[in-house]
Amino acid sequence: MTIEIKIAVKPVIKKYLSTKVKTNPMILSRTNIYGIFLYNCLVRVRWKVKACLIGVDTDKFPEILNVVISEDMWQRKGWYIHPQKQADFNNLVAKMLDEEFHYYMDIQTMDLGQKIYPSFLRFREKFDFTEDDMPIKTMEKNYQRYRSRLIA
């Protein structure tokens, strides 16, 4: 028997995750960082909670990531993930996305001598991000902050 839980995520986080692990549904496994994090967030609850999305800000996290948990994990750890842990999961994946973005931009601009704007577009294409997912202005400010921290 398996159980499926729902985790609230941002659209960009779901797209990024889908390039790293199977997300339709995501099978919880302790063989990748995402599964390890979620596994350690699982708790057993004594009260009847109908869904893991109670208390989650669905305006901030409008997408749903379905996660399948094995019977063994369900019996040992539980099936509930607190809303704050769901936000923490989003922050973890966003941080990993930022690090990959910074690494990609450093390679493109410093090592390969590419221009910044086309590199932004190639990075977005790599993950199938749209302007709504990752605006160019946001990418530009993010990369400028990163570079200024390195120089300082």
pLDDT in tens, 10-66: 999 999 999 999 999 999 999 999 999 999 999 987 765 555 667 788 889 999 999
For residue 52, give every residue at least 6 positions away whose Cβ sits within 8 Å of its Cβ, in sequence order, or none: 5, 6, 7, 79, 80, 81, 86
* Domain range summary for the chain, segments of one domain joined by +: 2-90, 96-151
Query: Quick one: which of 37, 42, 88, 38 has its CA closest to 61?
Result: 88
d(CA 32, CA 52): 22
pLDDT in tens, 128-139: 999 999 999 999
